Amino acid sequence: MTNPIDDMMKKFSEMMPEPLRNMQEDVEKNVRSMMESGLQKMNLVTREEFDIQSAVLQRTREKLEALEARLSEWENKQAPATTPTHSSDAN
């Protein structure tokens, strides 16, 4: 997978006039630095961090669903035991 910043830098350098291409390396460093600084200020997470947190969330969701099923099963077992019985004392 290619780096989006590298792709943007390549496109940017291709659009530069010839005299500026001679200074391409310096321009690339400066633009890259500005872009990385701007992205850091946005408080973004990396794809790897996002994927890790997504996996943690998925496991948590699965555990919650299993616990909800167990609780529902337990509540269903308890309901008949706590329901008052009706006696037919009315003769």
pLDDT in tens, 19-77: 777 777 787 788 888 888 888 888 888 899 999 999 999 999 999 999 999 999 999 99
pTM of the model: 0.46
Is residue 72 within 8 A of residue 64, CB to CB? The reply is: no
Asked whether residue 87 carries a pLDDT value surpassing 70, the answer given is no
Helix segments in the chain, DSSP class H: 4-15, 18-21, 24-41, 47-82
Look at residue 85 in the predicted model and tell me its pLDDT.
58
Half-sphere exposure of 57 (CA within 13 A, CB side): 6
